[in-house]
Copies of this chain bind each other. A is one copy, B any other.
Amino acid sequence: MTDPVLIEVLRGAIVESAHRGAVAVFDADGKSVWEIGDTSKPVFPRSAVKAIQALPLVESGAADAYGFGNRELALACASHSGEPAHVELARSMLARAGLDGSALECGAHWPSNHGAEIALARAGELPNALHNNCSGKHSGFLCTCVHSGIAHRGYVKADHALQDMVRDAMQAVTGAIHGPDERATDGCSIPTYAVPLKSFALGFARMATARGFGPERAKAAKRLLAACMAEPFFVAGTGRADVALMEAAPGRIFVKGGAEGVHCAAIPELGLGIALKCDDGAGRAGEAIVAAVLAKLLRADQALAAKLLELANAPIASRIGAKVGGLRPTAALN
């Protein structure tokens, strides 16, 4: 099955490029609310499931033991932009467990925030693993290891006890088998598993409602999503789409993007989870699709829906800042 075009990219009045994709919206009982395209196809969720991967940090008691509040938990679920506040918070999380950046096994890269990158260069510095967009997640992993008495070295490997905990959480929440046949390696060196797209929609409906969870998991899931919605900057960074979407309706929308055009989201008040994949992996399309899907599901709040649709219709500017085109959701998203 060929997924439909969900986002058109216009230059002037002409469609220059087009993005196909699939969307799944489910409730926590596994009822399909809205599906577009092939929602059964295996998708690597990449960073879009970091909130589920952070469950062991809370459930193990590590988050409480180290006194983590909303910001630390948001950073544990983040793909941050490497801005100074992100880097410092990751450093302080590790320090609470007696570690520093050298324990991180995610690798280093320059901040995705351009101002932060230039400032780092101007200071004559090079990026380290704390600047990696996944350093908050990895700091959470390391804190979980230390608090649980697990030797942390090699914590990124599929057969490490920490990854067993993460995989168990992923399987329980999504209901999908995460076996060796589904496994590959993410950019930050941890395993990522390709399972049906709709499993993530179900998983985030459960995360938002805690339906079907025991009391400890229920508390952890609600706490993690609430932390992200309370501190969206620490989930992403300045000017990022996920921040704009969560700030559009504080406490009412959870959104998290991942590499290769994946987005997961949840609307707690409706008890819904959302998962989508742009087939070609374009982040710009994933962001526009999730904004359009949220606008449709929240259409009862007209002012909010209008704000979300504006984010779905992102402009494209020339190098002198003139608007020369933009993204446009297709009728498939109406």
A16 to B279, CA, bound (A): 8
Decide if B18 touches A44 in the complex (CB within 8 Å). Answer: no
For A13, the chain B residues whose CB sits under 8 A away are: 184
Decide if A320 touches B282 in the complex (CB within 8 Å). Answer: no
For A42, the chain B residues whose CB sits under 8 A away are: 14
A184's partner among B14, B108, B182 (CB-CB below 8 A) is B14
For A278, the chain B residues whose CB sits under 8 A away are: 17
Chain A contacts with B in 182-197, Cβ cutoff 8 A: 182-189, 192, 194
A124's partner among B105, B122, B322 (CB-CB below 8 A) is B122
A189 to B11, CA, bound (A): 12
Decide if B320 touches A44 in the complex (CB within 8 Å). Answer: no
A280 at the interface (CB under 8 A from B): yes
Q: Give the distance to chain B from A12, nearest Cβ to Cβ, in Å.
A: 3
A281's partner among B9, B106, B318, B324 (CB-CB below 8 A) is B9
Closest B-chain residue to A124, C-beta based? B122
When A17-B261, A280-B17, A282-B280 are in contact, do A186 and B318 touch as well, CB less than 8 Å?
yes
A107's partner among B18, B19, B121, B320 (CB-CB below 8 A) is B320
Closest B-chain residue to A109, C-beta based? B319
Decide if B260 touches A9 in the complex (CB within 8 Å). Answer: yes
Q: Give the distance to chain B from A257, nearest Cβ to Cβ, in Å.
A: 14
A329 at the interface (CB under 8 A from B): no
A102 at the interface (CB under 8 A from B): no
Q: Give the distance to chain B from A46, nearest Cβ to Cβ, in Å.
A: 9
Closest B-chain residue to A184, C-beta based? B12
Chain A contacts with B in 276-334, Cβ cutoff 8 A: 278-282, 285, 318-322, 324-325
Decide if A44 touches B194 in the complex (CB within 8 Å). Answer: no
Taken residue by residue from 119 to 150, chain A's Cβ proximity to chain B (1 for < 8 Å, 0 otherwise) reads as: 00110100000001000000000000000000
A279's partner among B18, B121, B185 (CB-CB below 8 A) is B18
A16, A282, A321 interface centre (most CB from chain B within 10 Å) = A16
Q: Give the distance to chain B from A163, nearest Cβ to Cβ, in Å.
A: 15
Closest B-chain residue to A277, C-beta based? B17
Decide if B194 touches A14 in the complex (CB within 8 Å). Answer: yes
A285 to B183, CA, bound (A): 24
A118 at the interface (CB under 8 A from B): yes
Decide if B281 touches A11 in the complex (CB within 8 Å). Answer: no
When A260-B9, A281-B9, A282-B280 are in contact, do A187 and B17 touch as well, CB less than 8 Å?
no
A114 at the interface (CB under 8 A from B): yes
Decide if A12 touches B132 in the complex (CB within 8 Å). Answer: no
Decide if B319 touches A107 in the complex (CB within 8 Å). Answer: yes
A contacts, CB < 8 Å to B: 2, 9, 11-14, 16-20, 42-44, 105-110, 114, 117-118, 121-122, 124, 132, 182-189, 192, 194, 260-261, 278-282, 285, 318-322, 324-325
What 6 additional pairs, Cβ within 8 angstroms, besides A17-B279, A187-B319, A279-B280? A17-B281, A107-B319, A108-B319, A118-B121, A186-B324, A280-B285
